[in-house]
Structure 1
Amino acid sequence: MSETTIGLVTGANKGIGFEIAAQLGALGWTVVVGARDTGRRETAVEKLRAAGIDAVSVPLDVTDQDSVSAAAAAIDRGFGRLDVLVNNAGIIGGTPQAPSTVDLATVHRAVDTNVYGVIRVTNAMLPLLRRSSAPRIVNMSSSVGSFAEQLDPGGPLAGMPASAAYVPSKAFLNAVTVQYAKELRDTGVLVNAGCPGYCATDLNNYTGFRTPAQGAVIAVRLATLPADGPSGGFFNDEGVVPW
């Protein structure tokens, strides 16, 4: 098997996911670009390769178990293991999201991608991660999923509209992250959640004040933690994010 670090990034065809792949690739890693849109995925791989990065493509729809299983099989055939999984794929789910009027289909879409998708992919990749000498799982979350941040009347989220889909899905993801960390605490697999900050991406119609490259930094930090690094935590560039 190759001694090069192998990292899979879901939703890596654009935005923060692409930048995570680019920054990991710049470290000399082989990056597996997982995305469901064939055209965007192949374009992303071409751009990464043009930058001198060892990038490969794998079809991956996190909402489709068959697609997830096929992606795991492809990585197994190609590399025999996986060192790092970055669960980056995420969606808003649709609007409006006011709890009193939200369409439950909107909630389902957000949770299916942002939570169930993470569980599908993680469970499919765990056998490959267990073959790594330094396995890491990074779940890209958001500070909007922090109860403390949401309830701070003087904080940056004070004026954020109520949400019954996207925001709860990130709180759900944070809880799932902790549970994986608990289950895997004696295996060497470190599992953490990272907040990229409010980045300008198509997820928010490019209204964010940070760049996708800035948002990718926390993912890279958590993907490269040493063996004695934290697990079951929630972090951004400044440190620990309160639950």
Structure 2
Amino acid sequence: MAKKKEVTVEERLRALYDLQLIDSRIDEIRNVRGELPLEVRDLEDEVAGLNIRLEKLVSNLEVIDNDIAGKKNLIEESKALMKKYSEQQKNVRNNREYNSLTKEIEFQELEIELAEKHIKEFKVQIEQKKEVIAETKERLKERENHLKHKKGELDAILAETEKEEQALISKSEEYKKQIDERLVAAYTRIRTNVKNGLAVVPIERGASGGSFFTIPPQVQVEIASRKKVITDEHSGRILVDAALAEEQKEKMQKLFAKL
């Protein structure tokens, strides 16, 4: 505890900003990883949907093929009946029977004509569905390749960033130990309540980083003196001067490069 009291405000501010840079890097890694699994999941759903569509299209083709077979059977049955009725006409006893059989033959001719029309329509449907099947297969292949690529990308990022993330988490805990618990608690509270998890920000062009609210000149002088921890009255973020921020960014970039 005694050692922590000896730490100057400037050292605390530097440690706080270092902590912010480390935690922001962790956020960045998690954001990248957070988007890719969703993308992979969406692609998996799309591929599954395309496979289901293909199955339905193929099933529809089988139904149409069965319908065509049914119509062809009907044509053969009608031809058989026409032949039968034609034979019967040779043995009729009167015009009424002959005319009745003629009507039956004409009816079967219409049945054949209608069946042939349906077969033509079915064949057009088959061609259309075959086109859709070909397009769907092409789309499926493209989506499967994209999914494979994205899965590989995700696996690579996981393999690459998992080690870095764990190292950064350890560094985050290490830097927290350099700061008194009250400040760490304040930092954590602010980080939870603000956009992008930025609890410590530098002054940029006379305003707090990421804000349009101008910091009064006298407050800017106080921040630059690094004698006390100052928060932005509008956002509640802890403020550091631009020079300190730049120095710590360079330092942490070198650290990140080693992880």
TM-score (norm 1): 0.22
- Name the structure, 1 or 2, with higher relative contact order (CA <8 Å, separation 6+): 2
Larger Rg computed on CA atoms = 2
Q: Which has more strand, going by share of residues?
A: 1
Q: Which has more helix, going by share of residues?
A: 2
TM-score (norm 2): 0.21
